[in-house]
Structure 1
Amino acid sequence: MKLSIISVGNKMPAWVAQGYDEYAKRLPRELCPSLIELPLAPRSKTSNREKIKAQEGTQIIAALSKKAHVIMLDVKGTSLSTEKLATKLENWQMSGIHANIVIGGPDGLSKECLGLADESWSLSALTLPHPLVRVVLIEQLYRAWTITQNHPYHK
């Protein structure tokens, strides 16, 4: 199995990198995702959000691995329990799937990106700060893995 997290935003605060790294190092080598950081499109007070999403979407599409299973994180996506994520993770491992999980920019994902999704997930009904999404996602992947291993972390 190969797992990649494609994330718009490459100048994250130190706490984001520390949080992400902490959970990534806990994952076994075969599950540790590669993190692909893409730069934010330039923004100003008068920027057109749709153009920004389109620019970032072009970068995302270029970064997607061919034949990968694509999961877009989107506020309108399906909510998963950690247990359901653990089941998905286990199935991916058994099938040797290459999964790309995409975190869009602060303005969300372009229609083109959403149209390429095999799945669309919502991490929360709450609006989360963009940098926090990266940390929440890697922690949930770690937690899901601990469930598959009967590790006490989840309890």
Structure 2
Amino acid sequence: MKLTLVAVGRLRKGPEKALVDDYLDRFAKTGRGLGLPPLSVQEVEARGSLTEAEAIDRALPDGAAVIILDERGATLTSPQLAQRIGDWRDQARDVAFVIGGADGLSQGLRDRADLAISFGAMVWPHMLVRVMVAEQLYRAASILAGTPYHRA
């Protein structure tokens, strides 16, 4: 199993990067004993004739379950997300979480996604969504490890 976060744009030094790094470190430590690999982060950009959609597509591992972050997606509880991650782990399935840029994700990518997740009806800045994804992955690993996730 491989876990990848594909995100449009570069996360520069600052509070968001510090939070993402902290949660990814916690996820790696907690997930190690659960058979969860560390999360690989692939930052992509549209360059030259390459569109954001094409850059995202190139970064996706072949055969991976594609999970997009989209305001039109399903609102899952943390235990529900943990269950999905545990299922993919048990199936040895690669998983790619995708965060689009300011213009969102292409319709083609939304159609292709195995799951669309929303963090609520509001639109969130994509850099904050990275923090939220990293935190929820750590929380999912904590739930799978049997710790009280509300205290994780």
TM-score (norm 2): 0.86
Deviates more, 1:8-17 or 1:57-66: 8-17
Inter-CA distance 11–140: structure 2 relative to 1 (3 Å threshold): closer
Q: 2:21 is matched with which residue?
A: 21
- Written as runs of structure 1 = structure 2, the 5 A alignment for 1:5-154 is 5-27=5-27, 28-29=31-32, 30-39=36-45, 55-154=51-150
Deviates more, 1:21-30 or 1:61-70: 21-30
RMSD: 1.8
- Runs of 4+ in structure 1 off by over 2 angstroms are 28-31, 39-42, 152-155
Q: 2:3 is matched with which residue?
A: 3
Question: 5+ residue gaps in structure 1?
Answer: 43-53
Question: 5+ residue gaps in structure 2?
Answer: none
**Structure 1 contact 6–101 (Cα < 8 Å) conserved:** yes
Structure label with greater radius of gyration: 1
Identical pairs, percent:
37
**Which deviations, in whole Å up to 9, do the C-alpha atoms of 1:35-82 show, x marking residues without a partner?**
00012569xxxxxxxxxxx92111111111111111111110111110
**Structure 1 contact 3–33 (Cα < 8 Å) conserved:** yes
TM-score (norm 1): 0.85
Pairs aligned (count): 144
SS at match of 1:142: helix
**Structure 2 contact 46–55 (Cα < 8 Å) conserved:** no
Give how far 1:139 is off: 0.1
Q: 1:48 is matched with which residue?
A: none
Give how far 1:14 is off: 1.6
